[in-house]
Structures are given as structure tokens and as C-alpha cells.
Structure 1
Amino acid sequence: MSALLVALGATVGAPIRFLVDLALKRRFGEGFPWGTLLVNAVGSLILGTLMALPLSPEAMALLGAGLCGALTTYSTFAYETVQLSRTGARGRALLYVLASLALGVGAAWTGLTVTALLFG
């Protein structure tokens, strides 16, 4: 049952990631991976929030592993960082790594802390 819930959550998360990335590439161009940065930060915020809630294992499978797992993407982050470096944009690559770490961890911590304060 858990695998089915993960798959169901992923059917929502993956298209959202794709559409956000597409929209931001159209809006800002392909010089910086804004889409991946945004979905990874938002997914981290959601996951931090979920961690503070008394959810069942089934809800965590659906929303945590499924939705957030498909919404966020470490492999794309790694690929885009390498591509920026390979094309000579090492400064942007470093900025991307630092921003991704700060926003991802900060968003997860914020989601966890705020939710715990509100509902704990």
C-alpha cells in the first residue's frame, strides 16, 4: 500500500516540478536554474512542515516520499551545478550550491519550527 501512495504523490509532484521549471525558464531564461532552486526550497518547506505534524505513515508516504520526493530533485541540482561549471559559469555554480543549501535547509527548519509553534 505504501508504494502505491508514494506513486500517487509522485504523480502530483513530478508534473509540478516540470511546469515550474518550464515557466521559470521561459520567464528568466536558462542562465540560472531558478526552477530547480524554487521547487527544492518549496519541497523542503513542505517536508519540514510535515515532520512537525502527527501524520500517519501512510500520509508521510503520500506527501513526504511521494509528493516531496518527486517535487524536489537532487540529481537535477547536481547536473545543473556541473553544467554551470563546465560552461565556465563557476561563480553561478557556486552561488547555486550555496543558495540551494541555505534555502533548502532554511526552508525545512522554518517549516518544522513554525508548524511546531502553531500546532505543538
Structure 2
Amino acid sequence: MVVVAGLGAAVGALGRYGVTRLVQRVYGNYWPLATLLINWLGCALLGGLTGWQVGHLMTVLIGTGVLGGFTTFSTFSHEVVMLADQRRFGAVLGYVSLSVGGGLLLAAGGLWLGLHLH
């Protein structure tokens, strides 16, 4: 299972890198939009995976591996600290609120969808 999780994590990390580069190329890097979108997508997909009730192997591969490598709490935390260091407190409040609130709503929505597609 360790190899399965590791392979999934490699795929997820490459996906995160690609999405980050694409979003930053299109929208710039003034506000952490890439990390927000990545984490939102990960919340929705993990909620859906949970609701769909896949087997242990798929949970390790996709949930722990791919989505664990794709989403990133450490980058989110770093970006919050950097915005605060720049004294962009409105951006901090907005980013934290959107990340946590949106993530919870998307996880719940993904769970609901997964349960109904199962």
C-alpha cells in the first residue's frame, strides 16, 4: 500500500505543479488563486470519493495518494503568512474564509454527489 500511496502522491504533486503554473500564467501571482482552486477541487473530489464508498485500494491510491499530493495545507498556510507579512489583512481574511468555508461546502457537496452516484 505504501507504493500505491507514493505513486498516487507523485501524480497529485505533478498535477498541482501543472495547475499552479497554468493559473499563475493566466492570472498572475498577486493573490493565491492557484492554491485556492487546487484545495477546493481536492475537497470536492475527496468528498465525492468518500460518498462513493470505493474500496481500500482506491481510497489509498486516490484519496491518500493523488489528492494528498495534489492539495496542500502547508502552501495555504505559507501564503496566509506572506499576505499578513505584506499587511494585506483583507486578503488574509478573504483567503482564509474562502479556503475553509468553500472547502467545507465543496466537501459536503462532493459527499452528497458521491452518495447519490453510488
Instruction: Work out the CA distance in 1 between the residues paired with 2:117 and 2:8.
Output: 25
TM-score (norm 1): 0.94
Q: Counterpart of 1:74 in structure 2: which amino acid?
A: F
Moved over 2 A (4+): none
Instruction: Work out the CA distance in 2 between the residues paired with 1:114 and 1:53.
Output: 8
TM-score (norm 2): 0.95
Instruction: Work out the CA distance in 2 between the residues paired with 1:46 and 1:109.
Output: 10
Query: 1:75-94 counterparts in 2 under 5 A?
Result: 75-94=74-93
Query: 1:20-99 counterparts in 2 under 5 A?
Result: 20-99=19-98
State the aligned residue count.
Answer: 118
Unaligned stretches of 5+ residues in structure 2:
none
Cα deviations across residues 50-79 of structure 1 (Å, max 9, x unaligned)? 101232211110000001101100000000
Q: CA deviation at 1:117?
A: 2.0
Unaligned stretches of 5+ residues in structure 1:
none
Q: CA deviation at 1:26?
A: 1.4
Q: Percent identical across equivalent pairs? A: 35
Cα deviations across residues 59-116 of structure 1 (Å, max 9, x unaligned)? 1100000011011000000000000010121111110000001111111100101221
Partner of 2:100: 101
